[in-house]
Structure 1
């Protein structure tokens, strides 16, 4: 924080980007808060009037200070949130004048720029030392916040933005189709090249988009799905041979064993014995 807060009409009180979990602030937060949602879905509850707002990917939300609230994820997908708390005498008036208060979720036209701006502010603060107290550093942070708030303003998408949003929609549809194909055909021999062709992308571009969206490569997603199904087969059919499990998963036996050991730290046979012991112990406890 700067030595004299009154010298700066805007200044970051807190900033970051992370996977958000349940958080409760009965007394509110001391400054205005600004949120951006990258992925997942969550709910923001105003504890003063009970208003609930669902925050989904691409949305922004601004909340005033000293007002009780809580927020938590709604989906199994990680709720990836960027945030900044903004201190300064001009924060409230500026947010009101741009229509960002009273609180209501919306889709900012320049979402990606806003997301990157928050990352830049965090890097400046996190990478600083005593020099961040100097006037030049604090001025730069104040200017960055001012620019961020201007980019956050509501507005009608331009023709270029509309085209970009349409392209993003096409991309998301393609990735969702790829995931459906994997989920429906994971027991069959599946090549990443065939998946890419099925959704209309080159292999390299498809893998890059998939990794950015889901955090794993298409191959790793398929592999994880097969291994989870393998564990399910062991639990449902304790006597099933390992080679039959591999066959059910569309995998060669030795490869299945190697991947399984690398993932779980033991062979499928050892895992099956462990599962059988756990089931027996649970059954004995129920009898007692």
Structure 2
């Protein structure tokens, strides 16, 4: 693990086009930033899985080997999504006059979980950057600026190359059609015990490949998509039938009552009964 490192800029903030504010990695715990963070951020998920909630609405599921680019001052919170496994999350917070133009160029890649074929290389660069800044010295910050720029260019090149060659769902009509088949199956059977192995098989992929394609296209896992669908339908049922019992709504969306209540509160910040009172 690389401890949280807050960089000392040596009065170079006004000079460097890119500079690191913070860097590190650890087993991520629940963190809430309602005002966002005053720097652009790059997150790398090395193991486990976790969830980012953007501005209280957009939910992004990160799994092993994915990255997330987040603009400065974006309200968010994030937490581990698996109580049985640590979520090893690396992060770099950076700013500078070149940071916003770079993110503008990478606009399509922002605020989505991106699987990357060169993940190990990016992780090694993060570790190398941490050790560089930990050594201090003014020259380290000039070199850090070059390396952050190199990492961003590497991410942009990787995504562009994969999309151009059809390695991701964005430029592959065949993959998109298969995913639409999977999504239709989820919508048709959301209230049943639907195994994702069967959904992957219906889409024509192995479970692992289907999972990667789904995350790349929707920014969340198939299981998370199913949960969000169930929650939306539950809210609609509460609004259409105010007198319907919580147990009945849970049954209608195919969930055990206690699990339904727990997931509803996690999603909306309130229990179903409190939600109905509002």
Tell me the TM-score normalised to structure 1 length: 0.50
| Conservation of the 8 A alpha-carbon contact between 1:109 and 1:155 | no
State the 4+ residue runs in structure 1 displaced beyond 6 angstroms: none
Larger radius of gyration: 1
Indicate the residue corresponding to 2:76 in structure 1.
Answer: 69
Q: Distance in 2 between matches of 1:121 and 1:69?
A: 25
State whether structure 2 residue 29 is matched by structure 1 residue 21: yes
Q: Distance in 1 between matches of 2:72 and 2:88?
A: 22
State whether structure 2 residue 90 is matched by structure 1 residue 87: no
Q: Distance in 2 between matches of 1:122 and 1:67?
A: 24
| Conservation of the 8 A alpha-carbon contact between 2:35 and 2:74 | yes
Q: Show structure 1 runs of 5+ residues with no match.
A: 163-288
> 1:96: Cα distance to partner?
2.5
> 1:67: Cα distance to partner?
2.0
Q: Describe how 1:16-165 pairs up with structure 2 within 5 A.
A: 16-47=24-55, 50-75=57-82, 76-99=84-107, 101-128=109-136, 132=137, 134=138, 136-153=139-156, 154-157=159-162
Q: Show structure 2 runs of 5+ residues with no match.
A: 1-8, 168-278
1:257-288 CA distance string (max 9 Å, x none): xxxxxxxxxxxxxxxxxxxxxxxxxxxxxxxx
1:174-194 CA distance string (max 9 Å, x none): xxxxxxxxxxxxxxxxxxxxx
Tell me the TM-score normalised to structure 2 length: 0.52
1:40-63 CA distance string (max 9 Å, x none): 010000125x10100001101011
Q: Distance in 1 between matches of 2:109 and 2:97?
A: 15
1:22-44 CA distance string (max 9 Å, x none): 11111110000110101101000
> 1:155: Cα distance to partner?
3.0
> 1:157: Cα distance to partner?
4.2
**Greater per-residue helix proportion:** 1
Aligned length: 155
What root-mean-square deviation, in Å, do the aligned CA atoms of Structure 1 and Structure 2 show? 2.2
